[in-house]
């Protein structure tokens, strides 16, 4: 699933391409909204909310979409061939006089009243890429379940929105925290969230995601994508394991030396 910075960048590109323009074509290729008529409405803005996209239209209408694991939005010129996949995976088409936005494999496509956007995003915790994010509220939500492992808790969008597996693992490495540490044992939780926010913010304006400060291929991350390779800090082989129960079971990556806890499980066979 995309990280919050990826969704932020998609929102910015859609906003720049469509906002202030009138829809000349609009198709929502999902049964629930297949007959919706959005042609003639002006696109007011596209904004991110955690990992959700909200495209606001005139007339108090918002198109809510979520990329899930493999969804994406592509932008084309009116005479340009679509290249994002076969026609049957297209879930949404929004076109103006000079741009066409095509949504492929979108995990969620909904229409809601703009004044009722909380119906689709009201469950989310504070968004780390919101300029006015309430980090104290995010800390409060995380600490509400003190026995929960921090590596699982950080992925719960109801507690804090925007963190995915990359920034979870990289942030915990930078703080020398095992992903299996109970939230109640994490004294510097505000600092952990501040680091995650900084990493997301540093990468939101471009497609690459570098947490080391070095964007070269193979140098971008401290631990992610480096299973079995030596830790950049201490040389110990990096481990991976599946952590959490559905729907929060994801691959976590860590250094068993820099982020050691006596009760940590061993890596799986991945």
204 as an active site residue: the answer is: no
143 as an active site residue: the answer is: no
Q: Are 210 and 203 in contact (CB under 8 A)?
A: yes
Q: Are 154 and 181 in contact (CB under 8 A)?
A: no
The encoded tokens of residue 185 equal 């044992």
51 as an active site residue: the answer is: yes
Q: Are 206 and 212 in contact (CB under 8 A)?
A: no
The residue among 52, 51, 55 whose CA lies nearest residue 38 is 55
Choosing from 3, 149, 170, 220, the catalytic residue is 3
141 as an active site residue: the answer is: no
The residue among 24, 33, 101, 88 whose CA lies nearest residue 62 is 33
The residue among 257, 254, 258 whose CA lies nearest residue 268 is 254
Choosing from 21, 41, 250, 261, the catalytic residue is 250
**Strand extents, DSSP E, the chain:** 25-28, 43-49, 52-57, 61-66, 72-76, 90-95, 100-104, 108-113, 239-243, 250-254
CA pair distance 151, 169, nearest whole angstrom: 8
CA pair distance 254, 256, nearest whole angstrom: 6
The residues near 138 (Cβ < 8 Å, ≥ 6 apart) are: 125, 126, 128, 159, 160, 193
The encoded tokens of residue 248 equal 């929060």
- Asked, as a colleague might, if the bond just before 247 is cis with ω within 30 of 0, I would say yes
Choosing from 49, 51, 148, 239, the catalytic residue is 51
Q: Where are the alpha helices (DSSP H) in 109-243?
A: 118-121, 135-143, 150-153, 165-174, 189-203
Choosing from 2, 48, 126, 179, the catalytic residue is 2
Residues marked as catalytic: 2-3, 51, 250
């Amino acid at each position: 699933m995309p990280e919050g910075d990826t969704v932020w960048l998609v929102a910015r590109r859609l906003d720049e391409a469509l906002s202030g323009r009138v829809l000349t074509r609009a198709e929502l290729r999902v049964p629930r909204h297949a007959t919706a008529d959005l042609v003639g409405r002006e696109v007011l803005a596209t904004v991110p909310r955690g990992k959700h996209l909200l495209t606001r239209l005139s007339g108090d209408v918002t198109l809510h979409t979520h990329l899930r694991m493999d969804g994406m939005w592509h932008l084309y010129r009116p005479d340009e061939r679509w290249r994002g996949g076969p026609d049957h995976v297209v879930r949404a088409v929004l076109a103006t006089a000079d741009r066409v936005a095509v949504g492929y494999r979108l995990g969620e496509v909904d229409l809601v009243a703009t004044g009722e956007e909380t119906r689709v995003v009201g469950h989310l915790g504070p968004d780390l890429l919101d300029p006015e994010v309430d980090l104290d509220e995010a800390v409060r939500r995380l600490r509400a379940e003190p026995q929960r492992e921090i590596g699982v808790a950080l992925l719960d969008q109801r507690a804090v929105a925007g963190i995915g597996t990359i920034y979870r693992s990289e942030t915990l490495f930078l703080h020398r925290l095992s992903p299996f540490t109970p939230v109640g044992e994490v004294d510097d939780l505000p600092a952990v969230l501040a680091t995650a926010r900084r990493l997301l913010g540093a990468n939101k304006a471009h497609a690459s995601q570098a947490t080391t400060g070095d964007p070269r291929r193979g140098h971008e991350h401290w631990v992610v994508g480096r299973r079995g390779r030596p830790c950049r800090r201490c040389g110990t082989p990096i481990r991976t394991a599946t952590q959490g129960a559905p729907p929060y079971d994801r691959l976590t990556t860590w250094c068993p030396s820099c982020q050691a806890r006596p009760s940590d499980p061993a890596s799986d066979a991945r």
